[in-house]
Structure 1
């Protein structure tokens, strides 16, 4: 699997509330997540500091990043 795969799933370890929050904003993959800013994602109800850390590491691992405004 390459780091530019068009369908890298979200990490399952972020927890159900964070997963539901991201799905509510039509975010199902890391590629979709990197279209959002860190501040925007932090504001989603259900996405806490633990989920943000896990998501940040996953993005970095796949050579992706949150959008910079």
Structure 2
């Protein structure tokens, strides 16, 4: 059963879970470009919550570490690897 919720900004939305995240606010926050714009909202928040906003910061972590973040799953890894590869970067401990 979906419940009508209202966020702090006054947006009204329906959710069937206890998740307080407003989808309207999330859409407004989504970057227009850069590697974070390629990710789902949960994956983007997982990186942001771990103070990762750049590919250089991402490269300081291993793939295993990144996968341990709540909200970031295996489907995000190819996106992240490709973005890092384009900048000559890779996960910590990864071979070239």
**Structure number with higher relative contact order (C-alpha < 8 Å, ≥ 6 residues apart):** 1
The superposition leaves residues 7-49 of structure 1 with CA deviations (integer Å, 9 ceiling, x where unpaired) of xx43311111011000110000101000001100011111112
Give TM-score scaled by structure 2 length: 0.59
5+ residue gaps, structure 1:
1-8
Query: Which aligned runs of 4 or more in structure 1 are off by greater than 2 angstroms?
Result: none
**Greater gyration radius:** 2
5+ residue gaps, structure 2:
1-33
Query: CA RMSD of the aligned region, Å?
Result: 1.4
How many pairs does the alignment contain? 61
Higher-helix-fraction structure = 1
